[in-house]
Amino acid sequence: MLLRKIVRIFSISLIFIFILASCAHTHIDWVDFIQYDYIKYVRNYENEMEGTPLTEDDLDKEYFTVKRKLSGVVNNPGYISKSGDAAYLDVGTQIYTIKGYDPDFRIAAFHDGQIILYEAYTNKWAEKGSELLDIKDRVESISVIEDKDEGHEKLTDIDDDSTVRRLVDMIVEAPVDDSENIGDEQYYFLTFHLNDGTIISRYYDIGGGILARGIKLPEEFREIIEERCGR
């Protein structure tokens, strides 16, 4: 899954750097992201592969435009991204809000003939999970996938309304600490299937109780997930 790579990249830094043979040249392979004010958004590849793609009817208002395209221009590994930066979108690209969603969570842009969905990954001012994931009353089911060195294994689909509602309530009410990240030990990949056909995927650190990025979930959340997985 492409998002698996993206989350791991973001768990270390905003960029994944390849140092080429020549020490005089550094090539940066950027994560596909946009920054606006204090929020960094990343491209939702998972929805492109498995969810319902956005259409023009889903777009609402013009939000902002891209000020700087970083790919092919910025090769300084110490560069700190700024509001208006985008990895691959051209300067002047219009960014749109999406109908029914908080723009602090989801935005969209036209690129290469398609509408690209971006979702907040970091928000330094977020205090609750709802400020990173605008999913209350939207989730129909949750897939739990175990991430192993040899690949992925789906463990279960949680689709009964009461359990889904309880898990989502814990997420949106949970405190956020942007400095907290997923660990390197056991974690699950949680995919949230929304009632508009789109999906959201996030890593969940079982031991640390952290849902990427920085959402600090209670022990009850882990207990429900583990019980449903037969652990």
Distance (Å) of CA 99 to CA 1, 60, 110, 187, 209: 27, 5, 16, 32, 31
What local confidence, expressed as pLDDT, does residue 17 receive?
41
Four-residue CA torsion sign, 19, 80, 87, 72? negative
> Secondary structure of the chain: what % helix, strand, coil (to 5)?
20, 40, 40
Tell me the angle at which helices 161-173 and 219-228 cross, rounded to the nearest 10 degrees: 150
Residues of the domain holding 82: 1-125
Residues 66 and 143 in one domain: no
Residues 118 and 156 in one domain: no
Residue 97's φ and ψ, nearest 5 degrees, are -80, 165
Residues 45 and 119 in one domain: yes
What local confidence, expressed as pLDDT, does residue 3 receive?
46
Residues 158 and 61 in one domain: no
Q: Count of domains in the chain?
A: 2
Residues 189 and 204 in one domain: yes
Residues 111 and 6 in one domain: yes
- The pLDDT tens digits of the residues spanning 12-34 come to 344 444 434 344 456 678 889 99
What local confidence, expressed as pLDDT, does residue 30 receive?
86
3-class SS string, 118-181: EEEEEECCCCEHHHCCCCCCCEEEEEEEEEECCEEEEEEEECCHHHHHHHHHHHHHCEECCCCC
Residue ranges in the chain whose pLDDT is less than 50: 1-24
Residues 136 and 231 in one domain: yes
What local confidence, expressed as pLDDT, does residue 8 receive?
43
